[in-house]
Amino acid sequence: MINKESEEYIQFEKLWEGITPKGVNVSKKNSFRSRMKNSCNQEGLEFSKINSFLVYSGKSKTLDSDTIMKGDVKITSPPRRHLRKF
């Protein structure tokens, strides 16, 4: 599903953790996560790291059969914790 070696995922991971050339910046990490949470809410997705990456990469527009439509809102739950691959 998600290619963890891709440039896009590596960039997302750095932003998610707040990694900068000088070290970890907690303010940038919190700011990015807040933006991702707002974007997930606008898309109608549950806030999680997986859904945040889908929104960040633009793949949330083409979601598969796991997505449930309630009116105009798309709802996707992340896989169970023991099934995640990160």
Token reading at 51: 């859904």
What's residue 19's pLDDT? 95
* Alpha-carbon 58 to chain mean position: 10
Q: Assign 70 to helix, strand or coil.
A: strand
Instruction: Give me the half-sphere count of Cα atoms (radius 13 Å) on the Cβ side of residue 60.
Output: 27
Token reading at 69: 């439509």
- Give the tens place of pLDDT for each residue, 49-81: 988 998 999 887 765 556 666 666 666 666 555
Threshold 0.85, pTM exceeds:
no
C-alpha 40/C-alpha 50 separation (Å) is 10
CB atoms within 10 A of CB 83: 7
